[in-house]
């Protein structure tokens, strides 16, 4: 058993900004109600005695309900429970907010007319690299463009006035249907202002997505949508910035479905890992009605294995992973420089943040002339450094952060820094350091040439334009680091119930597409957000060729014909296939999928964990061709990925430790003759790899390979877990503790301290907000938990409160704190402040308490005490500030 050595990748060609973990937030007082049958929503809301207002009518063919907001947020939980008991109500769940997975904008064009018209695609054939990588070019070359197919996009809207996106909105236009569900000013928290116009002129994400699917070729850079004959529906669910709540998402999905979308795509998500989560469940329902739904897998690859994102983790929902483009395109702003008294020459740069470059004309200065030093500029500059306020500092990218390098330059007076790249291409740079006016990046070649001139003693004077108005041009660089490999940021599955996620991948790293005219017209972006729309376009091409849009048939074909790739950590490739939890079936090969005459009945297999091991699986092989075909079955193992490092309860981060031990698979029969029009069943029997430490939850995976006598070949991804998911500790008791809101580091409080809380129900008023130190409970889940309880345990036996306590799952409790229990939780930390309020809306009386946290183990039984991991806080006392005299006391009551 050879361990595969993997080093941590520092700089992948396509990186995405590492954002805070995006665990969806609950919106206070807001709920989604689903009716048993149908109701008039206004009448329904009246029937709850005016306790709630109607936020959004959600009455659709596949979902009948409403989102409502309880007028009294403090009592919402209690009222929601009562509403849930009403005969008319099938389901009630809290509104949560989701975000666009953190993506990277590498470069954008400028408002100026581009000065170079790039070569049109030679000979009319498609040479766009994301298309070459996925065989999409073959459809275009054959004149298949997705004609007649409607793709609904749920995103930030579309700049349909962009000439490459049709220039108009409505029937007959490229963007022919859709709506704005929110308005520009919406941020996920304020009131949406819907209208019929889904224009995106301030965000950009949705405009980039739309171009990947359907950009027209009338643009200077040779961008072509993968299915530029489709019509698009644009459902705008984000304002210019911020999040989207799931009631808006549910509405948008249903509107897109009812408008007759043949395919629905969304590059939106939030950490979950549970396919039962309500938004994911609604998307599953639409797929079950025959509309393929693709959702980006998420950009949390750095979190390692078991970090699937909702709604891509839903049952039947197709989760799209990302690979990096073989080219690194960059949109560079045109500027000029002079060496000594030579003539002016032009160069391209990528503006960073900040970018106050307008009319900056200064000589370059470099701390070192070594153009291969990986850590150039990482150390403080020597004492001999001159005043740099009249210079532009030139420094090589690498090793330490941009911020550190800029900080060192600023310490010597610099106001401007230009980085030269240490890999191909050029990227946006962010280094908002006090005192810096402008940062930018140039290519390695440009930087090295300048250093050589400086070293020769020449002065190099650079004239920078305002990047917002300077002409820009496209430069394509070979991606020498990560071409075609899985993007390091792509999120890993499987779900916590060992369902295979993601399904397959398309190029999403370093993608050139359209961007709002107001933001530069074109942009190079990276993320699974950029992969997902290409998959949606491929579904359209598939529907054109095969004449069916059945989601299962198409997913099975795409998975069976996709090409798995070897593992690469951002720098080094390893001679073993990347785990299925990272790449699913592999990179789509759309032409092969569209023309395959072999159909498998499944898209993947899961053998589950050791406790629920189902070693024998069957699937069908259907031959729709005109001749008999013999299929011989074999097995290709992929790298096994350990979930935990030895002795740790928290999953390892990217790249998880890999091992080359693989399962053994046997097939019955191992060779099968399938006549034309016939279907045969084969049986797969798995023996999990041995010699692995089950406590570390190694996830093994690989492919059933089918080699057909007609020369075609197929592969079916599978995965399984050695060890028991149930045995994984889900609650990190060391990181579950009582802190206080004044602590920014979540320092634990000692026992027996007294919190003097605002008067019940007043915690969020300005008189108290931020002016009172509240108990803050930090809960850290080391693995996902489908149910987390937080009980308030009274500690003084003689108090009235204690007499009123009940015992639930072995815990003496006054009730759960507000917003609990919580369902379908991803792993990671959560902070909860306690203002004395219980989930039923009442407040605990003054007294001594501790908080008891219970997190249900994976596959645990929610009614069994022993299936929870538990932690208790130190004891603390609660007192309340008296209300100022004369203020009206609302009807809040202590319980007990």
Ligand X SMILES: *[C@@H]1O[C@H](CO)[C@@H](O)[C@H](O)[C@H]1NC(C)=O
Catalytic residue among 205, 208, 563, 762: 205
498 lies in the binding site for ligand X (CB under 6 A):
yes
CB of 799 to ligand X, least distance (A): 9
Stretch in the footprint of ligand X (CB under 6 A) among 11-19, 155-163, 334-342, 772-780: 334-342
In contact, 169 and 175? CB cutoff 8 Å? yes
Binding residues among 18-77 for ligand X as defined by CB under 6 A: 28, 73-74
Stretch in the footprint of ligand X (CB under 6 A) among 75-83, 117-125, 430-438, 523-531: 117-125
107 lies in the binding site for ligand X (CB under 6 A):
no
770 lies in the binding site for ligand X (CB under 6 A):
yes
497 lies in the binding site for ligand X (CB under 6 A):
yes
Residue 528 or 606: the one with the smaller Cβ distance to ligand X is 606
Pick from 508, 509, 516: which is nearest to 534 by CA?
Answer: 508
Could you say which of 110, 234, 481, 606 contacts ligand X (CB under 6 A)? 606
> If 0-12 CB within 10 Å is exposed, 13-18 middle and 19+ buried, where does residue 803 land?
exposed
Residue 125 or 401: the one with the smaller Cβ distance to ligand X is 125
Burial 317-342 (b: 16+ CB within 10 A, else e): bbbbbbbbbbbbbbbbbbbebbbeee
Could you say which of 91, 121, 187, 336 contacts ligand X (CB under 6 A)? 336
Q: Sort residue 86 into left (φ over 0), alpha (ψ -120 to 50) or beta.
A: beta
103 lies in the binding site for ligand X (CB under 6 A):
no
Stretch in the footprint of ligand X (CB under 6 A) among 341-349, 519-527, 554-562, 690-698: 341-349
Catalytic residue among 126, 155, 313, 609: 155
895 lies in the binding site for ligand X (CB under 6 A):
yes
Could you say which of 260, 803, 831, 879 contacts ligand X (CB under 6 A)? 803
Residue 157 or 465: the one with the smaller Cβ distance to ligand X is 465
361 lies in the binding site for ligand X (CB under 6 A):
no
CB of 213 to ligand X, least distance (A): 22
Q: What is the DSSP string of 855-871?
A: EEPTT--TT-GGGEEEE
> What binding mask, one character per residue, do residues 211-250 give for ligand X by CB under 6 A, x or -?
----------------------------------------
Which residues partner with 751 through β-bridges?
none
Q: Which helix (H) or strand (E) holds 753?
A: strand 753-757
Count of chain residues binding ligand X (CB under 6 A): 36
CB of 431 to ligand X, least distance (A): 23
495 vs 300: CA distance, rounded Å: 14
Stretch in the footprint of ligand X (CB under 6 A) among 195-203, 209-217, 414-422, 800-808: 800-808
CB of 336 to ligand X, least distance (A): 5
Q: What is the DSSP string of 674-720?
A: E-TT-EEEEEEEEE--SS--GGG-EEEEEEEEEEETTS-EEEEEEEE
Active site residue 529: yes
Which residues partner with 438 through β-bridges?
355, 416
Q: How distant, in Å, are the alpha carbons of 493, 590, 756, 866 from that of 151? A: 26, 17, 56, 48
681 lies in the binding site for ligand X (CB under 6 A):
no
Q: What is the DSSP letter of 283?
A: H
Active site residue 106: no
CB of 88 to ligand X, least distance (A): 26
DSSP H helical ranges for 86-204: 129-134, 136-141
Residue 204 or 702: the one with the smaller Cβ distance to ligand X is 702
125 lies in the binding site for ligand X (CB under 6 A):
yes
28 vs 312: CA distance, rounded Å: 25
806 lies in the binding site for ligand X (CB under 6 A):
no
Read off the tokens for 686. Answer: 């798995």
Question: Would strands 698-708 and 629-637 be described as parallel, antiparallel, or unpaired?
Answer: antiparallel
Tell me the residue nearest to ligand X as measured from the CB: 123
* Residue that is written with structure tokens 């850590």 in the block: 375
* Residue that is written with structure tokens 């970090």 in the block: 307
Which residues partner with 349 through β-bridges?
333
157 vs 239: CA distance, rounded Å: 9
Read off the tokens for 436. Answer: 């810096």
Active site residue 866: no
302 lies in the binding site for ligand X (CB under 6 A):
no
Could you say which of 612, 635, 695, 740 contacts ligand X (CB under 6 A)? 612
23 vs 828: CA distance, rounded Å: 8
CB of 341 to ligand X, least distance (A): 4
658 vs 751: CA distance, rounded Å: 43
Residue 759 or 896: the one with the smaller Cβ distance to ligand X is 896
| Active-site residue set | 155, 205, 529
Q: Which residues bind ligand X (CB under 6 A)?
A: 28, 73-74, 115-116, 122-123, 125, 141, 334, 336, 340-342, 346, 370, 372-373, 471, 473, 497-499, 606, 608, 612, 751-752, 764, 770, 800, 803-804, 859, 895-896
């Amino acid at each position: 058993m050879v361990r595969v050595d993997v080093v941590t990748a520092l700089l992948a060609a396509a990186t995405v900004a590492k954002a805070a973990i995006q665990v969806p937030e609950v919106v206070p007082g807001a709920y989604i109600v689903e009716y048993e049958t149908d109701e008039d929503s206004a009448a329904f809301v009246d029937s709850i005695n005016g306790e709630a207002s109607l936020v959004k009518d959600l009455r659709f063919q596949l979902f009948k309900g409403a989102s409502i907001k309880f007028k009294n947020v403090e009592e919402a939980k209690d009222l929601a429970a009562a509403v849930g008991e009403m005969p008319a109500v099938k389901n009630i769940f809290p509104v949560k907010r989701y975000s666009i997975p953190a993506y990277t904008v590498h470069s954008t064009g400028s408002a100026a007319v581009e000065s170079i018209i790039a070569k049109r695609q030679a000979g009319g054939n498609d040479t766009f690299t994301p298309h070459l990588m996925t065989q999409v070019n073959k459809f275009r070359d054959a004149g298949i463009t997705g004609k007649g197919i409607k793709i609904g996009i749920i995103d930030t809207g579309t700049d349909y006035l962009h000439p490459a996106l049709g220039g108009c909105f409505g029937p007959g236009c490229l963007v022919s249907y859709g709506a704005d569900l929110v308005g520009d000013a919406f941020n996920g928290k304020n009131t949406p202002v819907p209208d019929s116009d889904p224009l995106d002129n301030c965000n950009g994400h949705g405009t980039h997505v739309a171009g990947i699917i359907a950009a027209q070729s009338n643009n200077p850079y040779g961008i072509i949508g993968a299915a530029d004959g489709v019509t698009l529906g644009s459902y705008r669910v984000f304002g210019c910035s911020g999040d989207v709540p799931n009631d808006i998402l549910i509405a948008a999905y249903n509107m897109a479905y009812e408008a007759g979308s043949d395919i629905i795509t969304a590059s939106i998500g939030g950490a979950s890992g549970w396919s039962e989560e309500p938004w994911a469940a609604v998307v599953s329902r639409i797929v079950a009605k025959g509309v393929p739904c693709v959702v980006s897998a998420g950009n949390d690859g750095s979190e390692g294995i078991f970090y699937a994102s909702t709604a891509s983790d839903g049952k039947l929902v197709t989760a799209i992973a990302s690979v990096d483009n073989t080219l690194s395109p960059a949109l560079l702003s045109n500027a000029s420089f002079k060496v000594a008294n030579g003539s002016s020459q032009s160069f391209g740069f990528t503006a960073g943040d900040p970018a106050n470059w307008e009319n900056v004309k200064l000589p370059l200065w470099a701390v070192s002339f070594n153009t291969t030093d990986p850590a150039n500029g990482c150390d403080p500059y020597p004492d001999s450094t001159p005043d740099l306020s009249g210079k532009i500092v030139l420094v090589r990218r690498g090793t330490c952060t941009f911020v550190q390098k800029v900080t060192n330059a600023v310490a010597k007076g610099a106001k401007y820094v230009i980085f030269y790249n240490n890999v191909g291409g050029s990227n946006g740079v962010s280094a908002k350091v006090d005192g810096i006016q402008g940062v930018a990046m140039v290519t390695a070649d440009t930087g090295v040439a300048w250093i050589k001139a400086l070293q020769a003693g020449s002065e190099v004077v650079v004239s920078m334009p305002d990047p917002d108005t300077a002409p820009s041009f496209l430069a394509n660089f070979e991606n020498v680091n990560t071409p075609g490999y899985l993007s390091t940021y792509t999120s890993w599955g499987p779900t916590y119930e060992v369902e295979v996620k993601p399904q397959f991948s398309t190029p999403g790293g370093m993608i050139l597409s359209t961007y709002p005219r107001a933001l530069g017209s074109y942009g190079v972006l990276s993320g699974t957000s950029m992969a997902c729309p290409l998959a949606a376009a491929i579904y359209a091409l598939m529907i054109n060729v095969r004449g069916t849009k059945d989601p299962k048939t198409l997913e099975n074909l795409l998975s069976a014909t996709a090409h798995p790739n070897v593992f690469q950590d951002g720098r080094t490739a390893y001679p073993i296939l990347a785990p299925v939890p990272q790449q699913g079936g592999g990179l789509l090969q759309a032409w092969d999928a569209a023309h395959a005459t072999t159909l498998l009945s499944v898209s993947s297999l899961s053998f589950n964990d050791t406790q629920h091991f189902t070693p024998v699986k069957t699937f069908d092989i259907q031959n729709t061709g005109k001749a008999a075909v013999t299929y011989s079955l074999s097995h290709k193992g992929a790298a096994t990925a350990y979930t935990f490092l030895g002795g740790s309860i928290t999953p390892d981060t990217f790249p998880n430790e890999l091992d080359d031990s693989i399962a053994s698979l046997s097939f019955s029969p191992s060779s099968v003759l399938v006549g034309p029009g016939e279907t045969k069943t084969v049986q797969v029997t798995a023996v999990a790899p041995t010699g692995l430490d089950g406590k570390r939850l190694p996830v093994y995976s690989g492919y059933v390979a089918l080699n057909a006598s007609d020369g075609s070949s197929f592969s079916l991804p599978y995965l399984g877990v050695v060890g028991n998911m149930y045995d994984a500790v889900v609650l990190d008791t060391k990181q579950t503790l009582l802190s206080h809101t004044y602590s920014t580091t979540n320092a634990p409080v000692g026992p027996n301290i007294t919190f003097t809380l605002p008067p019940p129900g007043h915690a969020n008023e300005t008189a108290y907000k931020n002016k009172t130190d509240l108990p803050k409970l930090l809960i850290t889940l080391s693995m996902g938990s489908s149910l987390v309880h937080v009980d308030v345990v009274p500690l003084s036996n003689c108090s009235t409160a204690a007499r009123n306590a009940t015992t639930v799952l072995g815990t003496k409790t006054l009730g759960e704190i507000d917003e609990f229990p919580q369902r379908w939780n991803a792993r990671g930390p959560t902070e909860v402040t306690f203002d004395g309020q219980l989930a039923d809306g009442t407040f605990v009386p003054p007294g001594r308490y501790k908080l008891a946290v219970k997190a249900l183990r994976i596959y645990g039984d929610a009614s069994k005490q022993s299936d929870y991991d538990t932690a208790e806080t130190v004891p603390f006392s609660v007192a309340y500030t008296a209300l100022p005299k004369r203020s009206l006391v609302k009807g809040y009551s202590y319980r007990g």
